[in-house]
Structure 1
Amino acid sequence: MLPTPDTSHVAYERIYEPAEDSFLLLDTLSSASETAFLRERFGNNYAPLVVEVGPGSGVVIAFVNAQAEALFGTRNILTAAVDVNGYACKATNETAKKAARENAATHGRFLGAVQGDLVEPLKNQSVDVLIFNPPYVPTPELPKQPGQADLPHVDTKPTFDEDSYMLSLSYAGGKDGMETTDRLIDSLPNVLSCKGCAYILLCAQNKPEEVKNRIRTLGDAWKVETVGSSGKQAGWERLQIIRIWIE
């Protein structure tokens, strides 16, 4: 089993703590079926860019970077992250650096985490593998989208209300828990490369079958399937990961 990156340095009062959803992503990305998919898709000396949107503690993107050899069959990969929470960016940078040091023979090249809204900082058609563990909990409304004045500087200690606000950005998904995920899906035709694929985590309340049908309406070249699941409860898959790709 591949080691989980150390996140003991992370301040969880303002950053999402790794949980079942995080570990499902690690298990799925390192599964035999997905490593085979990634190796076949990005072989032949191709250096893919892997970006996690909303990395939180950084445990997932740090894992991907640290275990590049195991996942892609090569260390020749680039990794990066984007998060609206500056504290999460800082934590992700530290998590990725730690994991790379502890896996010196297998890691790729981590470019860093930048603060921004979803894929806004990324160039069009630049991302080969996009990973998204979204705020998927259904809530009456989304937290207000933060402006520069809404978030404290990362070198200052936030107030309790600021901590609560930043944490809410990581879980509150609005109607059906899908308002942020819908925005991300809308961006896929622009942000993914010609070889691009995306891994997105959904919960049962997100209506995964409707989400997959929506992906299929993007065109005949767009494919989607469930590649990871936390198991069923009362007939529902509680959490699942869908892989979206272009053929």
Structure 2
Amino acid sequence: MLPTPDTSHVAYERVYEPAEDSFLLLDTLSSTDQTIFLQTRFGDGYVPLVVEIGSGSGVVIAFVNAHAKVLFGSRNVLATAVDVNAYACKATDETAKKAASENTASHGMYLGASQGDLRTPLKDGSVDVLIFNPPYVPTPELPKQPGLADFPHPDKKPTFDDDSYMLSLSYAGGRDGMETTDRLINSLPQVLSKKGCAYILLCAQNKPEEVKERIRAFGEAWNVATVGTSGKKAGWERLQIIRIWIE
């Protein structure tokens, strides 16, 4: 078992707290099947860029960066993150820095987190491994998509309404819980590199089999498979991780 990064510094009233979905991603990425896949795909001196979209506390990207040598067979790994929540970006940076300092023999190079909407800060064709734990809970509508002006100034304490809004961005997925995830999936042909792959978390109400069929419709080179599942039911949520890759 690889150690989980410490997130005790994170303000959970405005940043998503690591939960079963987060830990399923950690277990999946560090499983024997996935480390073999990653090491085979990105061996021979290749330096992969790993990006987590919607990093929240930073527990997932900090884990990947801290244990780069174990997951990829090399410390020559670049890791970064994107989150629409400025407080999540700050939390991610702190989590990643702390985890790297505790795993000095195995960590890669963490490049920092950028505030932005999904893939907007990313160059086309640049991402080798994309990780996404989306807002997957079905809700009547999505929260208003924020701009920088929608976040309180860093020197000002957020109000209760500010905190509620920021947390809603992390879980409210709109119709079938898929409105945000669909936007990200539709962008994969642009954002992934030629070696690119993506790990995306889904719940039962996201209709995972329909999601897989839409991905296969991208073309013959596109593949998708379930590579991780939760062993427990959390209400109606039964979670799975799908891996999308190009051959």
TM-score by length of 2: 0.98
The amino acid of 1:89's aligned partner reads C
Partner of 2:185: 185
Distance 1:153 1:22 in 2: 28
Unaligned runs of 5+ in 2: none
Partner of 1:29: 29
Q: Deviations over 1:121-160 (max 9, x none)?
A: 0000000000000000000000000012211123321000
SS in 1 for 2:119: coil
Distance 1:229 1:44 in 2: 30
Partner of 1:114: 114
Partner of 2:154: 154
Q: Does 1:46 align with 2:65?
A: no
Distance 1:173 1:120 in 2: 19
CA change 1:162–1:233 in 2 (3 A) is closer
SS in 2 for 1:136: coil
Mapped contact 2:69–2:106 kept (Cα < 8 A): yes
The amino acid of 1:96's aligned partner reads A
Distance 1:155 1:202 in 2: 36
After TM superposition, what 4+ stretches of structure 1 lie above 6 angstroms from structure 2? Answer: none
Q: Does 1:89 align with 2:89?
A: yes
Distance 1:53 1:232 in 2: 25
Mapped contact 1:83–1:89 kept (Cα < 8 A): yes
Partner of 1:136: 136
The amino acid of 2:127's aligned partner reads V
Partner of 1:242: 242
TM-score by length of 1: 0.98
SS in 2 for 1:193: strand
Mapped contact 1:229–1:237 kept (Cα < 8 A): no
Distance 2:155 2:110 in 1: 23
Mapped contact 1:52–1:131 kept (Cα < 8 A): yes
Mapped contact 2:205–2:237 kept (Cα < 8 A): no
Cα distance, 1:87 vs. partner? 0.1
SS in 1 for 2:104: coil
Partner of 2:209: 209
Q: Deviations over 1:193-240 (max 9, x none)?
A: 000000000000000000000000000000000000003659x88000
Unaligned runs of 5+ in 1: none
Cα distance, 1:114 vs. partner? 0.5
* Mapping of residues 49-88 of structure 1, within 5 Å: 49-88=49-88
Distance 2:104 2:91 in 1: 20
Partner of 2:171: 171
Identity of aligned residues (%): 80
- Count of residues paired in the alignment: 246
Mapped contact 1:231–1:237 kept (Cα < 8 A): no
CA RMSD of aligned residues (A): 1.2
SS in 2 for 1:214: helix
The amino acid of 1:54's aligned partner reads G
